[in-house]
Copies of this chain bind each other. A is one copy, B any other.
Amino acid sequence: MILVTVMYPAGAETKFDLDYYLSKHMPLVKERWTPHGLSNAQVVKGVSKPDGSAPDFQMMALLTFGSLDNFKAAGKAHGREIFADIPNFTDTQATVQISEILA
């Protein structure tokens, strides 16, 4: 299994429409990618670093796929539509990373 992390950087000047993100974007992601092996989608909102300072990422989506091939096929089939939706809720540039789930 793999984990795809989509991390939206924090910053005072950035905009992020949480309501749109939760009510429109993430349901779109789940609807399109669940048939392609998306088995879990966790959404977390950055609070702080342990010392109380601002977090690096204001929002993160943690997407679990059955395999890397699943994710590649999901991206190929619906990536364009999903990525095109991002400017509807944020002007930040997300950092996306693929990781292997070890434990």
Contacts and interface: CB of A to CB of B under 8 A. Distances in A.
Nearest to A95: B56
B26 A98 contact: no
Interface string A32-72: 00000000011111111110000111001010000010000
A102 interface: yes
A25 to B, nearest CB: 12
Contact of A97 (B22, B57, B68, B96): B57
A45 B102 contact: yes
A46 B96 contact: no
20 contacts: A2-B47, A3-B42, A3-B44, A5-B60, A41-B103, A42-B103, A43-B101, A44-B99, A44-B100, A45-B99, A45-B100, A46-B98, A47-B68, A47-B98, A48-B98, A50-B96, A50-B98, A55-B98, A56-B95, A62-B62
